[in-house]
Amino acid sequence: MFAYILRRLLFMIPTIFGILLISFVIVQFAPGGPVERVLAQLQGTDAGATANIGGGGAAMGTANSADFSSKYRGAQGLDPKFIAELEKQFGFDKPAYERFYLMLRNYLRFDFGRSYFRDEPVIKLIGEKLPVSISLGVWMTLISYAISIPLGIKKAVADGSRFDMWTSAVIIIGYAIPSFLFAILLIVLFCGGSFWQIFPLRGLTSENWADLSWPARIADYFWHITLPVLSLSLGAFATSTFLTKNSFLDEIRKQYVQTARMKGLTETQVLYGHVFRNAMMIVVAGFPGAFLSAFFTGSLLIETIFSLDGLGLLSFESIVNRDYPIVFANLYIMALLGLVVNLLSDLTYMWIDPRIDFETREV
């Protein structure tokens, strides 16, 4: 077991290196860039994704002063020394390979530098946004599993019944409805739109949260997080519900179940004494991956609609603004967490079924 974990941990090094290298190279040729963004702000124009390709190439190295006007959109008429200072400020006065080496060296120490346009340490910005993303990810995952596992078991036991067909139809419809559309519906119904004023419209906590007692703080937190989590959870449990149902159906049809019934065991004893552990292996082992998916995906629109300042919104704004330290820090953290979660998923299999031997398994 130890040898397998060590191999997996060592395998993470070239994987993360490859992810960062490919992303770094792509960024060098991406339209626009932080230098162009500053120049566009000075000129009163936009330096978004429609900027010239040459702006992205700015990251490849420093050109002569005479070439600045052709190198950057909006550089015409500006002092070349000023533009050179901008390049130095953003680190573009160094060759690309040197900047990539410095980035890797700093990332090994979890030093992500400072944001280009927020003038704050990147690690501090990410830490400030984590509570929102953790709240959405944790509660969405727990709620989806709390619904999908009992529902999947019931559907497997009642396979082909009217209950099975009706719940399948409801689940598929819920899965097909976009989460942001459901969020807007909840706002209209329960946030003082055209019907009831029950839940708050924005934020994770109230403005006077610090002055509340601990029971009131907990109640205030759940009061704010209810609608965003419901919006994300609408279609989240569909996959795990059908996965649970199919896994139980597959086990119920096996020979050992028939043998247990012939021995006189009740259906409850057969289901939870024999079938449950084997059927739940694939469902429970997928829990870490489901949490990671909920943590990093699908929350951007929900965060925007409910004015929740989380990692999804931070990542989107950083990409639009070409704030590369935040972009690469998020990429690095997501890649690292993804690899760790995959390892935890494999170890969960072993915890559920000790018969699985990792020592003989290749990475």
| Residues whose CB is less than 8 angstroms from the CB of residue 139 and which lie 6 or more positions away in sequence, other chains included | 225, 229, 233
68: its two tokens: 């600045």
Residue 293: pLDDT band by 50, 70, 90 thresholds? low
What pLDDT was estimated at residue 88?
78
Residue 344: pLDDT band by 50, 70, 90 thresholds? confident
Q: Give the pLDDT confidence of 193-244 residue by residue, as tens digits.
A: 678 888 888 888 888 888 888 888 899 889 988 998 888 887 777 888 888 8
CB 56 within 8 A of CB 32: yes
Q: Give the pLDDT confidence of 245-284 residue by residue, as tens digits.
A: 888 888 888 888 888 888 888 888 888 887 887 787 777 7
Cα distance between the two ends of the chain: 12
Alpha carbons 224 and 130: distance in angstroms, whole number: 16
What pLDDT was estimated at residue 55?
39
Cβ-count burial of 241 within 10 angstroms (0-12 exposed, 13-18 middle, 19+ buried)?
Answer: buried
Alpha carbons 223 and 119: distance in angstroms, whole number: 33
Alpha carbons 363 and 63: distance in angstroms, whole number: 45
CB 259 within 8 A of CB 320: no
- Alpha helices by DSSP H, the chain: 2-28, 34-43, 53-56, 68-71, 80-90, 96-108, 122-157, 162-176, 179-190, 214-233, 237-252, 255-262, 267-270, 276-285, 287-296, 300-305, 311-320, 324-352
If one compares 42 and 223, the residue with the highest pLDDT of the two is 223
Residue 21: pLDDT band by 50, 70, 90 thresholds? very high
pLDDT at 356 exceeding the cut of 80? no
Rounded to the nearest angstrom, the gap between the alpha carbon of residue 319 and the centroid of all alpha carbons in its chain is 15
Q: What is the DSSP annotation of 266-289?
A: -HHHHIIIIIHHHHHHHHHHTHHH
Share of the chain above pLDDT 90, in %: 9
- Contacts of 83-88 with CB under 8 Å at 24 or more apart are 83/35, 83/39, 86/35, 86/38, 86/39, 87/35, 87/58, 87/62
pLDDT at 92 exceeding the cut of 50? yes
Using CA atoms, how far residue 15 sits from 68, 106, 339, in Å, is 37, 17, 9
Alpha carbons 287 and 68: distance in angstroms, whole number: 52
Domain 122-352, CATH homologous superfamily name and number: MetI-like (1.10.3720.10)
What pLDDT was estimated at residue 46?
54
Alpha carbons 154 and 329: distance in angstroms, whole number: 43
Residue 91: pLDDT band by 50, 70, 90 thresholds? confident
Secondary structure class of 45 (helix, strand, coil): coil
Angle between helices 324-352 and 311-320 (to 10 degrees): 140
- Which among 70, 77, 71 has a CA at the least distance from the CA of 43? 77
Using CA atoms, how far residue 362 sits from 183, 224, 335, in Å, is 44, 46, 21
CB 124 within 8 A of CB 131: no
Alpha carbons 70 and 87: distance in angstroms, whole number: 15
What pLDDT was estimated at residue 289?
67
* Degrees, nearest 5: CA angle 87-58-311: 80
Within 10 angstroms of residue 182's Cβ, the number of other Cβ atoms is: 19
Domain ranges of the chain: 122-352
Q: Give the pLDDT confidence of 55-72 residue by residue, as tens digits.
A: 344 433 444 444 554 466
pLDDT at 323 exceeding the cut of 90? no
Mean pLDDT of the chain: 79
- Which among 300, 327, 322 has a CA at the least distance from the CA of 312? 300
CB 232 within 8 A of CB 294: yes
pTM to 2 decimal places: 0.72
User: Element (H or E) spanning 193, and its range?
Assistant: none
